Amino acid sequence: MAEQAIKIDGVTKRYGEFVAVDDVNLEINKGEFFSLLGPSGCGKTTTLRMLAGFEVPTEGRILLEGEPVEKVPPHKRNVNMVFQSYALFEHLDVEGNVAFGLKRKKTPKAEIQTRVADALELVDLSSRAKSRAGELSGGQRQRVALARALVNRPQVLLLDEPLGALDLKLRRQMQIELKQIQREVGITFVYVTHDQEEALSMSDRIAVMSDGRVVQCGAPEEIYEHPSEEFVAGFIGISNLLQGKAEGQGRVRVGGNSLPVPDLPSDFRTGDPVQIAVRPEKVAVDEIGNDNEKIQPGMFTVDGEIESMVYLGVGNQLTLKLASGGRLVALEQATYRVQSDDQWQVGQQVRVGWHPEHCMVLS
């Protein structure tokens, strides 16, 4: 059992009538890369700011390695934050920014020098040590903010959408670097983001938040493959949501079709409403009468018509109108297509199928 870095115990934050964070309970392990994921206004940043000490919980406790800290002011907490705007000190050079925390802690000069040099090495900025903050690019500013926090060797590093201001390519690169740095230093990271892809690719565990509550907490695969409710399924990637009624023997009636749903819990009785979801990339599309190419044996199949098609580069996103009513979105990888003119036509009749085990039951 891993050691616990943070325990958030029944924490609620109210601003007057408004409940920003509503009875959140989380345990974060030492050395973990933990993400708080959700749309804006879901309470993820408020939760992070309570961990930093900028906000005091209205109710509940926050334990940092077992010590209650919810009323400790930020400058007395051994946690550091990477701000969304980076919040660099413009009047200082890169070194001055990174050394700021160590100086306030009255660290000996020689030690400050070596630790600042090491931190700059870690983020690959040794050559810009004497530059003013204003002379740096966005990516470099982001690294300074990271080095400035990490140099203090905090118990927990808090990151508030640190990559939000960077362009897509730089963001991808920094995601990989951040993850590498986290492995190297072994410090617990608590990462706030609204970007589900970012959270899935970097985190050890994710807590999905909505309206101040944690709706699901688990490993990325678990959250993606087994979303607990419609909100999670919809927020983490696109999902096809199908409303149906339980039929018994692991089958659900949707429109005119009876779908096999092996995951259906046994406490659903015949006639109970059931909501199921299928990920677009699990949906195979093929020409009718060509069943052995992409539609594999054991798949559940229905017929439909291609309603619209969006070219995504890595593949096509097809919206399909089912013969039995309802719509499905399918994501088709470009690897299936050999020639560029080998394209689907809007209005074409197709057969659609998926493996029954890819049907997710939402509570």
Of 135 and 225, which has the nearer Cβ to another protein?
135
Sole binder of another protein in the list 39, 67, 71, 105 (CB under 8 A): 105
Residue 162 near another protein by CB under 8 A = no
- Binder of another protein out of 115, 128, 148, 205 (CB under 8 A): 148
54 binds another protein (CB under 8 A): yes
Binding region for another protein (CB under 8 A) out of 17-25, 70-78, 169-177, 229-237: 70-78
Nearest to residue 156, comparing CAs of 107, 191, 184? 191
Query: Among the residues of 13-93, which ranges form H helices?
Result: 44-52
Residue 216 burial (CB count, 10 A): 21
Q: Give how many residues touch another protein by CB under 8 A.
A: 28
- Beta-carbon contacts of residue 126 (< 8 Å; ≥ 6 apart): 117, 120
Among 22, 31, 52, 60, interactor with another protein by CB under 8 A: 52
Token reading at 308: 């619209």
The first and second tokens of residue 117, run together, are 């040099």
Question: Radius of gyration (Cα) for the chain, nearest Å?
Answer: 25
To which H or E segment does residue 285 belong? strand 284-287
Beta bridge partners of 253: 245, 258
Distance in angstroms (rounded) separating the CA atoms of residues 99 and 230: 46
Question: Closest by alpha carbon to 255, among 323, 317, 185, 200?
Answer: 323
Segments in the chain forming alpha helices (H): 44-52, 94-104, 109-122, 138-150, 168-185, 196-202, 220-225, 230-235
The nearer residue to another protein, 123 or 331, going by C-beta atoms, is: 123
- Stretch in the footprint of another protein (CB under 8 A) among 61-69, 84-92, 167-175, 247-255: 84-92
Q: Please, what sign has the CA dihedral across residues 222, 224, 228, 231?
A: positive
Q: Is 91 in the site for another protein (CB under 8 A)?
A: yes
Q: Considering beta carbons, is residue 99 or 252 the nearer one to another protein?
A: 99
85 vs 243, beta carbon nearer another protein: 85
User: Is 153 a residue that touches another protein (CB under 8 A)?
Assistant: no
130 binds another protein (CB under 8 A): no
Q: Please pick, from the candidates 1, 40, 90, 342, the single residue that binds another protein as defined by CB under 8 A.
A: 90
State how far the Cα of 64 lies from the Cα of 51, in Å rounded to an integer.
9
* 83 contributes a contact to another protein by CB under 8 A: yes
Q: Which two tokens stand for residue 294?
A: 């992409």
- Looking at residue 352, its amino acid is V
- Identify the residue among 46, 47, 140, 152 touching another protein (CB under 8 A): 152
Q: Minimum CB separation from another protein for residue 293, in Å?
A: 55
Least separation in angstroms between residue 19's CB and another protein is 22
> Which one among 2, 3, 71, 85 touches another protein, defined by CB under 8 A?
85
Query: Least separation, in Å, of the C-beta of 100 and another protein?
Result: 5
User: By the criterion CB under 8 A, which residues form the site for another protein?
Assistant: 52-54, 73-76, 79-81, 83-85, 87-92, 100-101, 104-105, 132, 134, 148-149, 152
